[in-house]
Amino acid sequence: MPPEGSAGREAGRARRRPLGTLRDVTTQPQVRARAIEAAPLATAAPIPGTVPTRPIPRGRGAVHKIRRFLIRTGPAYLFILPAVAAMLFVHYIPMAGGILVAFKDINLFTVTRWYDAPWVGLDNFVQGLNPDGFLGSRFWQSLWNVTFFGAVTITAGYVIGMAVALLLNREFPGRTLVRGIILLPYITPDSVAYSVWRFIFQARIGLVNMWLMKLGIIDEPVIWLVGSNAIYAVMLAAIWKGWPFAALVLQAGLQTIPRELYESAMIDGASRWQRFRYITLPMLAPVTRMLILVSILWNYNAFNQFYVMLGKDPGPAADVPSTLILRETFSTFNFGVGSAMSVVLMGVMLVLTMLYLRALRASERGQA
Amino acid sequence: MRSASRWTAVVATAALVLALGAGAALAQGTEITFWVMPNAADVIHVPWLDQKVEEFYRETGIRVRYEIIGWDQAWSRISTALITGEGVDVFQAGTTWNPQFAATGAVAEIDIDKFGGADAFMEANLISTTYKGKYYGVPWFAETRALFYNKDMFAAAGVEPPQTYAELVQVGKRITEVFGEGSAIAIAGTNAWDLIHNWAIILWAYGGDLVDAQARRATFNGPAGVQAMEYYVDLVRLGLASRATAEYNQPQADAAFINGNVAMAFMGPWNIADIEVENPSLNYGVVEPPAGPVGRAAFSGGSNLVILGASPNKAAAEEWIKFLLRHDNLVSYTRDLSKMLPAKVDAFNDPYYESGVWQVFRRGLSYATAYPPLGVWGDIENAIVAEFRNILTAYVEGNLERQGGVQAFLDRAAQRVNEALARER
What are the residue boundaries of the structural domains of chain B, listed by start?
Answer: 28-143+301-366, 146-298+376-424
Asked if pLDDT for residue A290 goes beyond 70, the answer is: yes
pLDDT of residue A69: 81
User: Which chain B residue shows the shortest CA-CA distance from A332?
Assistant: B378
pLDDT of residue A233: 97
pLDDT of residue A241: 94
Whole-number average pLDDT of chain A = 83
Mean pLDDT computed over A103-127: 90
Domain boundaries, chain A: 5-44, 58-101, 131-367
- The answer to whether the Cβ–Cβ distance between A108 and B392 falls below 8 Å is no
Q: A227 — phi, psi (to 5°)?
A: 75, -145
pLDDT digits (tens, 9 = 90+) for A206-245: 999 999 999 999 988 899 999 999 999 999 999 999 999 9
Q: B314 — phi, psi (to 5°)?
A: -60, -40
Q: What CA–CA distance (Å, rounded) separates A58 from A70? A: 15
Asked if pLDDT for residue A35 goes beyond 70, the answer is: no
Q: What CA–CA distance (Å, rounded) separates A313 from B384? A: 12
> Chain A residues with CB inside 8 Å of B425's CB?
109
B28-143+301-366: which CATH number, 3.30.420.590, 3.40.50.2000, 1.10.1060.10, 3.40.190.10? 3.40.190.10
Name the minimum distance, in Å, from the CA of A204 to any CA of chain B: 6
What confidence tier does A41 reach under pLDDT thresholds 50, 70, 90?
very low
CB contact residues (below 8 A), chain A span 259-288, against chain B = none
Q: What CA–CA distance (Å, rounded) separates A112 from B279? A: 46
CB of A134 within 8 Å of a chain B CB? The answer is yes
User: Which chain A residue shows the shortest CA-CA distance from B100?
Assistant: A108
User: Where does A131-367 sit in CATH, by number?
Assistant: 1.10.3720.10
- The answer to whether the Cβ–Cβ distance between B247 and A315 falls below 8 Å is no
Kindly give the parts of chain B with pLDDT less than 70: 1-28
pLDDT digits (tens, 9 = 90+) for B69-107: 998 899 999 999 999 999 999 999 999 999 999 999 999
Q: Do domains B28-143+301-366 and B146-298+376-424 have the same CATH topology?
A: yes
> Chain A residues with CB inside 8 Å of B376's CB?
108, 332
CB of A333 within 8 Å of a chain B CB? The answer is yes
User: Where does B146-298+376-424 sit in CATH, by number?
Assistant: 3.40.190.10
Name the minimum distance, in Å, from the CA of A86 to any CA of chain B: 22
A17: Cα within 13 Å, side-chain hemisphere: 20
Name the minimum distance, in Å, from the CA of A223 to any CA of chain B: 7
The count of other CB atoms within 10 Å of the CB of residue B261 is 17
pLDDT digits (tens, 9 = 90+) for B392-419: 999 999 999 999 999 999 999 999 999 9
User: By CB neighbour count within 10 A (0-12 exposed, 13-18 middle, 19+ buried), where does A62 fall?
Assistant: exposed
Q: Which of B249, B382, B388, B412 to mutate to test the interface with A (most CBs of A within 10 A)?
A: B382
- The answer to whether the Cβ–Cβ distance between B79 and A333 falls below 8 Å is yes
Q: Which of A313, A319, A324, A339 to mutate to test the interface with B (most CBs of B within 10 A)?
A: A313
Closest to A327 in 3D by CA, of A306, A300, A344: A306
Name the minimum distance, in Å, from the CA of B274 to any CA of chain A: 21
Whole-number average pLDDT of chain B = 91
Give this prediction's pTM.
Answer: 0.82
- The answer to whether the Cβ–Cβ distance between A111 and B82 falls below 8 Å is yes
ipTM, two decimals, is 0.84
